[in-house]
């Protein structure tokens, strides 16, 4: 099971009845950590527009698109970044 599913299961089942030393934190801190984990997943699943960048390469300007999350080059139009998994919105791209 991955960390996202584990966090969701704990939240859905209100499964925070553990001694403070289970995660080395108290119930409120554990819940906050799980919420942050799921928020990152939601942000990555929400489509974002690729960043547009113009670079000078061998005395020629080249247009490229970058992932808005990890700034990796996007070699072609795809639905998500192959590096970090960020969902992409190419809506008004030509």
Residues 24-53 pLDDT 10s: 667 778 788 888 888 888 888 899 999 998
Q: Find the mean pLDDT for residues 56-73.
A: 90
Q: pTM for the whole thing?
A: 0.66
Domain that holds residue 91: 47-94
Do 11 and 23 reside in the same domain of the chain? yes
Do 28 and 63 reside in the same domain of the chain? no
pLDDT, position 50: 95
Question: Does pLDDT of 23 surpass 60?
Answer: no
Do 55 and 92 reside in the same domain of the chain? yes
pLDDT, position 72: 94
CA distances to 6, 11, 60, 73 from 53, in Å: 38, 40, 13, 10
């Amino acid at each position: 099971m991955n960390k996202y599913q584990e966090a969701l299961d704990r939240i859905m089942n209100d499964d925070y009845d553990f001694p403070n030393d289970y995660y080395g934190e108290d119930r409120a801190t554990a819940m906050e950590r799980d919420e942050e984990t799921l928020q990152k997943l939601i942000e990555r699943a929400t489509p974002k527009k690729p960043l547009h960048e113009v670079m000078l390469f061998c005395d020629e300007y080249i247009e490229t698109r970058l992932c808005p999350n990890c700034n990796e080059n996007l070699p072609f139009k795809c639905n998500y970044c192959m590096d970090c998994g960020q969902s992409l919105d190419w809506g008004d791209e030509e």
